[in-house]
Amino acid sequence: MIEAVMNASLPKFFDRVPIGRLLNRFSKDLNTVDITIPPSWGNAIVSVYILLVEIGSCVVTSPYVLLPLVLIFLFFSGVVQRSFVSLNREIVRLGNAFL
C-alpha cells in the first residue's frame, strides 16, 4: 500500500482521496500487523509442534497400521488448507471492499 501511495501522482491522488480515509486505511493495516500477526505465528508454531508429536507417537506405537492413514490425513489436510486460504482471501477482499 505504501508503494501505491508513493507512486501515485500527487495532485490527482490528494484530490480524490481524503486524508482521513488515507489515515484510517494505514492505521487498520498497521493494527493488523501489530496486533493479529504475532499471536497467529505463535498459534501456528504450537499447532505444528502438537501435530508432529501426535503423528510421531502414533507412528511409534503402531507404525504399520497408522502410517498409511497418517499420510492420507496429511494429504487431505493440505487440500482443505489450500481451499480455506483461497476462500479466506476472497472473504477478506470482499470485506475490505465495503470500507
1: helix, coil or strand?
A: coil
The answer to whether residues 73 and 83 belong to one domain is yes
When mean pLDDT is compared across 4-8, 50-54, 85-89, the lowest value belongs to 4-8
User: What percent of the chain lies above the pLDDT cut of 90?
Assistant: 9
The answer to whether residues 45 and 86 belong to one domain is no
The answer to whether residues 78 and 56 belong to one domain is no
The answer to whether residues 26 and 15 belong to one domain is yes
Q: How far is CA 21 from the centre of its chain?
A: 25
The answer to whether residues 46 and 79 belong to one domain is no
**How many whole angstroms separate alpha carbon 46 and alpha carbon 44?**
5
The answer to whether residues 33 and 80 belong to one domain is no
- Residue with the bigger pLDDT between 32 and 42: it is 42
Phi and psi angles of residue 98, each rounded to the nearest 5 degrees, phi first: -95, 5
User: Residue 23: which domain range?
Assistant: 1-61
Instruction: Look at the chain and report how many structural domains it folds into.
Output: 2
Stated pTM of the model: 0.42
The answer to whether residues 47 and 78 belong to one domain is no
